[in-house]
């Protein structure tokens, strides 16, 4: 098992290029099924979740291959519509394949993605929307048998703006005859990117980025070349790393408009942040100060995926800051690990109060989930002595090379085998 050894106390200096976005490339990989052809994805991050998506595509009869940071997928030979339970459980967002397989094959069989480290991960909104498009879905002991000989465009109102449900329904709607209107859709930049990808392949989708997404279905899609957008959560992580350790960094390719709530919080805490088309510069000197409550919310609100890393950046700040987690039930699992490093955090239900401490000390800590794992690294950069971070396979799900990027910024961090 790999682990990270991090020596704290060095400020960060320099530049890193931001990897392609995990949460954008995963739905795009599902969408390649609709093209029945070759798609080259440039700037594709090499991540465990991307590997899992590729394995799903391969078991369905598709071909895939890497050339540097380009991933080429050819879905012409797709000849299956079943995803095994093992593959479904490997990646929690595997449900996103359902809409695309149904649109292409008229049937699909897969199991529930199951609960995850963040708490239950229901897909009821995905299934209700697919039924509205005409799919018949039977749940036989946790295996979903789905058939949709003829899907027809429909008006779907989501009871909450689920990212995954919006993406799944956009893909299914491409295979439905007529127009589908998805109301109360999620507005995340990754949804806009999925729309752009579908349109680049000959689809007709509009409205993404707003609350109503309109899909004209029944069009024949074609392949092409597409560049993956920069990962806003990786960018938020490195901004928080520099806020924690101090210093000045430049994140090439990061787009501030995708993470303005995160940069607003860091500015309020005392960081100096500038950005332009090339990327974001953060400089941070001296002690951070307390900020107004951080409440996670669907985009454009504060992202739940950046909650843990911001909390880690504020552990030594002056005063106390309140966090309120409103998206996932179980998203404070990193708190116990941060406490081992000397952090002072009280959790009451969905609220966590972080009181700044004078010093953090290196400790032996364990990743509980992807972003929680990244938060441990952010905290370790500011701790006295060495921190050993184990169970880093969680981190590998979403960061191409967290240790290499932080090392390029001057951090004392190495990856070793336990």
d(CA 32, CA 45): 16
List of residues 6+ apart from 254 with CB closer than 8 A: 18, 230, 232, 235, 275, 279, 280
Rg of the chain, C-alpha, whole Å: 21
Torsion angles phi and psi, residue 237, rounded to 5: -65, -45
Q: How far is the CB of 273 from ligand UD1 (least distance, A)?
A: 22
CB 234, CB 259: distance < 8 Å: no
Q: How far is the CB of 374 from ligand UD1 (least distance, A)?
A: 12
Q: How far is the CB of 34 from ligand UD1 (least distance, A)?
A: 18
Q: How far is the CB of 405 from ligand UD1 (least distance, A)?
A: 19
The token duo for 91 is 């990646």
d(CA 235, CA 409): 13
Q: Which residue is nearest to ligand UD1 (CB)?
A: 164
d(CA 127, CA 144): 10
Nearest to 26 by CA among 50, 44, 55, 48: 50
d(CA 232, CA 163): 15
Nearest to 175 by CA among 153, 145, 155, 192: 153
Handedness of CA 272, 274, 280, 281 (dihedral sign): negative
Query: Which of residues 160 and 278 has its CB atom nearest to ligand UD1 in the complex?
Result: 160
116 tagged catalytic = yes
Q: State the Cα angle at 244 between 43 and 415, rounded to 5°.
A: 55
Binding site for ligand UD1 (CB under 6 A): 23, 26, 93, 121-126, 160, 162-165, 186, 190, 303-305, 327-328
Catalytic residue among 62, 105, 116, 271: 116
d(CA 15, CA 416): 24
In Å, the largest CA–CA distance within the chain is 64
Q: How far is the CB of 365 from ligand UD1 (least distance, A)?
A: 22
Q: How far is the CB of 327 from ligand UD1 (least distance, A)?
A: 5
The token duo for 242 is 């520099």
Query: Which of residues 232 and 317 has its CB atom nearest to ligand UD1 in the complex?
Result: 232
Q: Which residues are catalytic?
A: 116
């Amino acid at each position: 098992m790999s682990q990270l050894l991090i020596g704290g106390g060095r400020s960060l200096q320099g530049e890193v290029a931001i990897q392609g976005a995990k949460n954008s490339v995963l739905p795009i990989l599902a969408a390649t099924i609709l093209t029945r052809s070759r798609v080259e994805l440039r700037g594709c991050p090499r991540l465990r979740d991307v590997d899992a998506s590729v394995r799903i595509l391969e078991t369905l009869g598709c071909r895939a291959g890497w050339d540097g940071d380009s991933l080429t997928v050819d879905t012409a030979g797709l000849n299956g519509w079943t995803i095994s339970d093992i593959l479904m459980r490997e990646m929690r967002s595997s449900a996103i394949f359902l809409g695309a397989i149904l649109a292409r094959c008229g049937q699909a069989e897969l199991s529930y993605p199951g609960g995850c480290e963040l708490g239950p991960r229901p897909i009821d909104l995905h299934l209700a929307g697919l039924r509205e498009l005409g799919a018949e879905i039977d749940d036989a002991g946790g295996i979903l048998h789905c058939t949709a000989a003829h899907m027809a465009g429909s008006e779907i109102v989501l009871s909450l703006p689920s990212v995954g449900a919006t993406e799944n329904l956009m893909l299914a709607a491409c295979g439905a005859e007529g127009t589908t209107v998805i109301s109360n859709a999620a507005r995340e930049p990754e949804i806009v990117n999925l729309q752009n990808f579908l349109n680049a392949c000959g689809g007709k989708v509009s409205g993404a980025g707003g609350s109503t997404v309109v899909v004209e279905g029944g069009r024949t899609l074609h392949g092409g070349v597409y560049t993956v957008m920069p990962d806003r959560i990786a960018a938020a992580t490195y901004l928080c790393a520099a806020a924690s350790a101090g210093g000045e960094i430049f994140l090439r390719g990061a787009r501030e408009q995708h993470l303005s709530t995160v940069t607003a919080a860091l500015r309020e805490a005392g960081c100096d942040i500038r950005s332009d088309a090339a990327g974001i510069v953060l400089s941070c000197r001296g002690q951070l100060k307390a900020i107004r409550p951080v409440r996670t919310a669907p985009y454009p609100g504060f992202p739940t995926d950046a909650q843990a890393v911001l909390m880690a950046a504020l552990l030594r700040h002056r005063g106390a800051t309140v966090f309120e987690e409103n998206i996932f039930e179980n998203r404070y699992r990193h708190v116990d690990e941060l406490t081992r490093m000397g952090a002072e955090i009280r959790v009451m239900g969905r609220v966590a109060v972080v009181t700044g401490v004078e010093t953090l000390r290196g400790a032996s800590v364990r990743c509980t989930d992807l972003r929680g794992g990244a938060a441990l690294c952010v905290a370790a950069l500011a701790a006295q002595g060495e921190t050993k971070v184990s169970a880093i396979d969680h981190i590998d799900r979403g960061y191409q090379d967290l240790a290499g990027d932080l090392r390029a910024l001057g951090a004392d961090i190495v990856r070793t085998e336990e």
